[in-house]
Amino acid sequence: MATSDTVTRPAVRVNRPSGRGRRATALTVGAILALMTIFPLLWMVTSSFKGADEVLSTNLLPHKATLSNYTYVFTQVPFARYLLNSLIVSVVVTVVALWFHSMAAYALARLRFPGRDTLFLLIFSTLLVTAPVILVPLFLIVHTLGLLDTYAGLIIPAIFNAFGIFLLRQFYLSIPSELEDAAIVDGCSYWQIYWRVILPLSKPVFAALAVLFFLANWNAFLWPLIATNSQDLNVVQLGIASFQQEHANNWNYTLAASTIAAIPTLGLFALFQRRIVESIKTSGFK
Amino acid sequence: MTAVAQAPAGAPSTTSGRRPTSRRRREALAAMLFLAPDMLGLLLFLGIPMVACLVLGFFQVDGFGGYKWIGLGNYERMFADPLFLHSLRTTLLYLVILIPGLFVVSLALALLVRQRFPLVGLVRSMLFAPNVVSLVVVALVWKFMLTDQIGVIDRILGFFGVTAPSWLGTPKWAVGSILVVTIWFAMGYYMLIFLAGLQDIPREYYEVAKLDGAGPWQTFRHITWPLLKPTSFFILLTSTVSMMTGGLDLLYVLTSGGPANSTTLIIYYIYQQAFVYGEFGYASAIGAFLVVILLIWSAALFALTRGGRFGDGDK
């Protein structure tokens, strides 16, 4: 397989047999798999524009595209309210979490105090605790605090997770100390250093984390299911799940509702995919 | 978290001796204030629940009122409860298929999209896309596609003359459907982690292998696989934890644990006991049992692989 090409440019692309054939095969296989993977989502979107008579047809595209399913969803159920609830919860959790986590991470990465490493290990160990396992005690605590069926009960428990602290701490460890030293010489307090030096430097990590936090909260189902009762507090995931139960045979409506719930997540992913991918890769390796 | 409370300064600093005591004290105080909000929240909503889960397992809880100490009663009940034993068996069988399946699929995809070809970025994104959609949407879309006879999957199979079984209506196929949907949903995430591991392997190794005339299989067997072991270890560990304790949304919406409890995995059984039957004590005991299983699995994996290095002197 030593083509003249590889002889002249030996260092490039040797990790895989180069050559057009190889690349064409990889492209073909990749494209087929990618299309198969995306098919269910595509099917959901196109079917949501089909009328009741057409929704079960096997045509990918509707013959007569209609927006009536969307109109129905917004007029017959308080779907706008569900979306608003999800938006409020996701935005508040994201903003507060970034603020709290960046403060904690700053202290863990840049300040010296006794017990710092122990504390970090303790925080890190909570990463092993997965939500469903502690669902019962969490429910009882939130009940005791009188926060069941309130926005606060939806929002506050969702703020705290070690993942964000951990990722931010890793980032802050890599900031050169000259910047802080200069601020200290200028007589800045620790709060001012955090506010004026650390936060402005955090923008790229914040962007990635914000997307991840927003997605996780927008997609959350289990906690809202348990922590809320009243329809006024329904988040969008709860809304579409119960909508489907009530309209079991009207798939055209359910698919329109699902599409609306999915659009913000797919849109954010399209916009921020590089950052999302980077932070997932980082999360895999300490 | 107690470390914060002990933080009052005056304790000897381990590192710099040149900093004046007042400065050190101020630094420790500032650190405590910066840490306070998150530490309080983590304690209240993660730390205490974790401990409470273990404690509650020894109680019988009725509704919200009474807590009655029953010692190991819940644990005795567990092993006499045919539904629990059934769900334990189902979960183990499910994981035995899911974890290797997910591992192989994600690794294969990562090996594919590591190559350079036109539009590779788009292909990666498309393979990852299911992971950004909520599990509720995932469940609904698949429920639609898997509808008996009139769903698109049955129609396509019918086109080829295949009579499809009732996917969500027969126990065996319902578990199979959950498996396929879970792999479809999760593969993109683990693909990305594998991809990061692959990209960490120095390119020179492949150049040398190529000069030595190694074929694709030999290259994989002697370079990629050994050097990918830390990643493989990480994925085996985290995927087991997340697959065993996650996915409740999917089960809830797609099959509601049925038919005939065939998809009542342990995590669903815990939910059911707690929030359908109000058996908080019993549910906590099962939760604690689940944590123990996961700890044993993690410890076993660590021991078998010597902390992910696999102990055979690679690298």
Contacts of A131 in chain B (CB under 8 A): 245
**Are residues A200 and A140 located together in one domain of the fold?**
yes
Cβ atoms A49, A69 nearer than 8 A: yes
Q: How many domains does chain A have?
A: 2
Contact A258 B140 (CB under 8 A): yes
Q: Could you tell me if residue B54 is inside a domain? A: no
- Rounded to an integer, what distance in angstroms lies between the CA atom of residue B267 and that of residue B248? 7
**Are residues A197 and A137 located together in one domain of the fold?**
yes
Q: Which domain holds residue B235?
A: 78-305
Cα distance from B172 to chain A (closest Cα, Å)? 22
**Are residues B174 and B279 located together in one domain of the fold?**
yes
Q: Please name the amino acid found at residue B8.
A: P
Contact B3 A258 (CB under 8 A): no
**Are residues A241 and A118 located together in one domain of the fold?**
yes
Here the tokens at position B266 are 């342990």
Cα distance from B162 to chain A (closest Cα, Å)? 16
**Are residues A47 and A170 located together in one domain of the fold?**
no
Q: Please name the amino acid found at residue B135.
A: L
Encode chain A (286 residues) as per-residue pLDDT tens digits.
Answer: 334 443 444 444 444 455 788 889 999 999 999 999 999 999 999 999 998 888 888 888 888 888 999 999 999 889 999 999 999 999 999 999 999 999 999 999 999 999 999 999 888 888 777 666 788 899 999 999 999 999 999 999 999 988 899 889 988 998 888 888 888 888 888 999 999 899 999 998 898 889 999 999 999 999 999 999 998 999 999 999 999 988 888 899 999 999 999 999 999 998 888 888 877 777 654 3
Contact B140 A255 (CB under 8 A): yes
**Are residues B29 and B84 located together in one domain of the fold?**
no
Contact A30 B37 (CB under 8 A): no
Q: Could you tell me if residue B175 is inside a domain? A: yes
- Rounded to an integer, what distance in angstroms lies between the CA atom of residue B51 and that of residue B43? 10
**Are residues A127 and A252 located together in one domain of the fold?**
yes
Of the candidates A37, A126, A268, which has its C-beta nearest B42's C-beta?
A: A126
- Could you count the other beta carbons within 10 Å of the beta carbon of residue B158? 13
**Are residues A163 and A245 located together in one domain of the fold?**
yes
Residue B184, C-beta contacts closer than 8 angstroms, at least 6 positions apart: A37, A40, B130
Residue A39, C-beta contacts closer than 8 angstroms, at least 6 positions apart: none
Q: Could you tell me if residue A251 is inside a domain? A: yes
Of the candidates A37, A123, A194, which has its C-beta nearest B127's C-beta?
A: A37
Contacts of B1 in chain A (CB under 8 A): 119, 122
State residue A9's pLDDT score.
43
**Are residues B107 and B196 located together in one domain of the fold?**
yes
Those residues of chain B that have pLDDT short of 50 are 1-16, 313-315
**Are residues A158 and A81 located together in one domain of the fold?**
yes
Torsion of CA A25, A28, A32, A34, to 10 degrees: 90
Contact B53 A26 (CB under 8 A): no
Q: Could you tell me if residue B313 is inside a domain? A: no
Q: Could you tell me if residue A5 is inside a domain? A: no
**Are residues B285 and B181 located together in one domain of the fold?**
yes
**Are residues A50 and A176 located together in one domain of the fold?**
no
Q: Which domain holds residue A58?
A: 20-66
**Are residues B268 and B170 located together in one domain of the fold?**
yes
Q: How many domains does chain B have?
A: 2
Cα distance from A19 to chain B (closest Cα, Å)? 10
Q: Could you tell me if residue A1 is inside a domain? A: no
**Are residues A61 and A86 located together in one domain of the fold?**
no
Cα distance from A119 to chain B (closest Cα, Å)? 6
Contact A126 B4 (CB under 8 A): no
Q: Could you tell me if residue B13 is inside a domain? A: yes
**Are residues A265 and A195 located together in one domain of the fold?**
yes
State residue A125's pLDDT score.
80
Look up the CATH number of the domain holding residue B139: 1.10.3720.10
**Are residues B4 and B141 located together in one domain of the fold?**
no
**Are residues B187 and B88 located together in one domain of the fold?**
yes
Of the candidates A13, A114, A133, which has its C-beta nearest B116's C-beta?
A: A13
Q: Could you tell me if residue A34 is inside a domain? A: yes
pLDDT tens figures, B200-239: 899 899 888 888 888 889 999 999 999 998 889 889 988 9
**Are residues A57 and A76 located together in one domain of the fold?**
no
**Are residues B1 and B117 located together in one domain of the fold?**
no
Contact A277 B128 (CB under 8 A): yes
State which H helix or E strand residue B61 sits in.
Answer: strand B59-61
**Are residues B116 and B8 located together in one domain of the fold?**
no
Q: Which of A66, A97, A124 is the last residue of a domain?
A: A66
Q: Could you tell me if residue B58 is inside a domain? A: no
Residue B208 vs residues A10, A23, A128, B223, B224: alpha-carbon distances, Å: 11, 21, 40, 10, 13
State residue B5's pLDDT score.
40
Q: Could you tell me if residue B85 is inside a domain? A: yes
- Rounded to an integer, what distance in angstroms lies between the CA atom of residue A128 and that of residue A161? 11
Q: Could you tell me if residue A126 is inside a domain? A: yes
Q: Could you tell me if residue A6 is inside a domain? A: no
Closest residue in B to A42 (Cα) is B141
**Are residues B171 and B247 located together in one domain of the fold?**
yes
Contact A130 B242 (CB under 8 A): yes
Look up the CATH number of the domain holding residue A189: 1.10.3720.10
- Could you count the other beta carbons within 10 Å of the beta carbon of residue B308? 16
Q: Could you tell me if residue A82 is inside a domain? A: yes
Contact B45 A11 (CB under 8 A): no
Contacts of B278 in chain A (CB under 8 A): none
- Could you count the other beta carbons within 10 Å of the beta carbon of residue B255? 23
**Are residues A99 and A122 located together in one domain of the fold?**
yes
**Are residues B25 and B85 located together in one domain of the fold?**
no
Q: Which of A45, A66, A87 is the last residue of a domain?
A: A66
Cβ atoms A47, A60 nearer than 8 A: no
The ipTM value here is: 0.87
Pairing of the two strands B59-61 and B67-69:
antiparallel
Closest residue in B to A276 (Cα) is B132
Of the candidates B41, B216, B252, which has its C-beta nearest A160's C-beta?
A: B41
Q: Could you tell me if residue B314 is inside a domain? A: no
User: What helix, strand, coil percent values describe chain A, rounded to 5?
Assistant: 75, 0, 25
Closest residue in A to B232 (Cα) is A284
